[in-house]
Structure 1
């Protein structure tokens, strides 16, 4: 049964439209004057019907069929008032379907770095029902929603704290563990290791990646990603040659699986390992391979690739100007999409350039 905690003109208008009644017919159904309904709709949230009329509106809402309730909630969602109308007693079948569709839409929005759009789709569901009102299907969807919210926070660089990627991943992991979904638990372990690496805890991240690279709960692709990220963490610690072996092995694995985007990303990371070791010629060649791989057209992928390219170019005095131009373009894209972690990485490269006297030193 649908309920509204407090009626305003916005909810009254949504109820009239959901019931597909004219202003005059709606007023007649409620037993109020046409002018009263007109004033509700004109004043919106600035008016609240009398208590006795609130009860009449409750009754009219409860008379709507399932399709009418769906229209009512959709109208409120578009007006930004969805929180005012909540469904008691847990989701119904059609709501599960809408929830799952919104998750898929959020995935697409997130892949385009439309963080605001993806967040809007997820937030309408995250706090809609208490966990005690959800069955296993609802809990699964809630954990998927929380996981995606964590991905958005991670991509925006909000890594640690009470409203962070780490917190969201930990909450989602707990639910998947409760539901007995080991693959999802392992994927969240992998996501938490990524957060540790991004936060600078490189030793812990490398150790966890190593464990997950052998974890049978994960798919072959995820195990290869874990192996690649072990190499990334080692490279950041200055262990370039150890990193290169792991990265080259991951590249072979991605090629066998036909994972073109991962294959290109691995070449990008291998290029940075060669840059760190001082082999700029090979680093440049590998960046070219990564650029030609295609597969990744999202702004985040492009910013990461451009940042790596700029870093390689800045390591050679002959290409510093070109490297700065590449970084400036990457920074502009990162700023447009709110990628704060990428902006911090770019700032770090620029500081490295300043400390190195006009050329980025090798780590």
Structure 2
């Protein structure tokens, strides 16, 4: 009788197909949630059922008749052989490029489809170096999608995807990609509230020669962001101002604009509202990227500054309401939590 040493989403999907059941019928047959079966289908070899579910799958396969077991073995064998072939690198690269656009526009649903169609199809250990590189790039982009959605910790999170991508780039000996993932992991640390640790990591990466000049400048800017969130606004403004000059020298207008947005919040924290309003106006009028995420960030920063002055408090609440509407529409849960935190602090 055919057996499975370790069930993954791929084997579970093959059993469902061999039984000729719909995902709903298969979930009922096993006694598991429909979303569990859907996860097996979408993530393939990337997901492994829990030990108790492994046993349920073992039982379902053992109780299947000979025809089902034969179909299962044929399907699984064909799927594994297909996974072992070199990937269609050109098509995969095109999908990665399309997914990058999805990340920039916060089109999370389509971006996930583009990436998971490859991640669920291939076992990374069966790919050539080019395929493994594309697998790592896809994982990193999945991390970006999770990060922007606010899913930063846990098994289906930015942190997990980034760590797996980092291991892959380390094995491939691509130091620049490893360092870029380290920068992403520092962002996750900051988003998780570990401000001191993230500031130290940013500071290290700001001098890391594995990174290019732009990434090092971004790390320096984010040192200031973490310091500002800790309340060290005076030093934060110094660090951010230096990063802003670097972006100007590098000819990076979008980063220069974003730096002014973050600098505005540091000035607000220091009680320097005139400087804060000047910087946020620069950010609002010079940005070259118009995405839902950036609109929410700009409006959140602007609203936060307006709330700091009793004379403009109502205007600030109105701007925050607009930002919250966009955040809800695009599923930007981390940004929405930030907005709610600002409102809560005002009410307190």
2:162 pairs with 1:173:
no
Equivalent residue for 2:330, pick from 323, 328, 337? 337
- What is the TM-score normalised by the length of structure 2? 0.78
Q: Distance in 2 between matches of 1:287 and 1:132?
A: 48
Q: CA 1:101/1:9 → structure 2, altered by over 3 Å: closer, same or farther? A: farther
Aligned to 1:209: 202
Render the CA deviation track for 1:75-108: whole Å, top value 9, x for unaligned: xxxxxxxx9x846243656722211111111111
Conserved 8 A contact 2:87-2:131: no
Q: CA 1:242/1:134 → structure 2, altered by over 3 Å: closer, same or farther? A: same
Structure whose alpha-carbon radius of gyration is higher: 1
2:210 pairs with 1:221:
no
Q: Distance in 1 between matches of 2:99 and 2:268?
A: 36
Q: Distance in 2 between matches of 1:131 and 1:229?
A: 33
Render the CA deviation track for 1:247-306: whole Å, top value 9, x for unaligned: 000111000111111101100111111100111111111110111112121110111011
Conserved 8 A contact 1:314-1:324: yes
Q: Distance in 1 between matches of 2:320 and 2:84?
A: 47
2:317 pairs with 1:324:
yes
2:122 pairs with 1:129:
yes
Aligned to 1:95: 88
| 1:132 shift after superposition | 2.4
Over the aligned positions, Cα root-mean-square deviation in angstroms equals: 2.4
Aligned to 1:164: 157
Q: Distance in 2 between matches of 1:201 and 1:94?
A: 39
Aligned to 1:360: none
Q: Distance in 2 between matches of 1:9 and 1:206?
A: 51
2:226 pairs with 1:233:
yes
Conserved 8 A contact 1:296-1:302: no
Structure 1: any 5+ residue segments left out of the alignment? 11-49, 62-82, 356-363
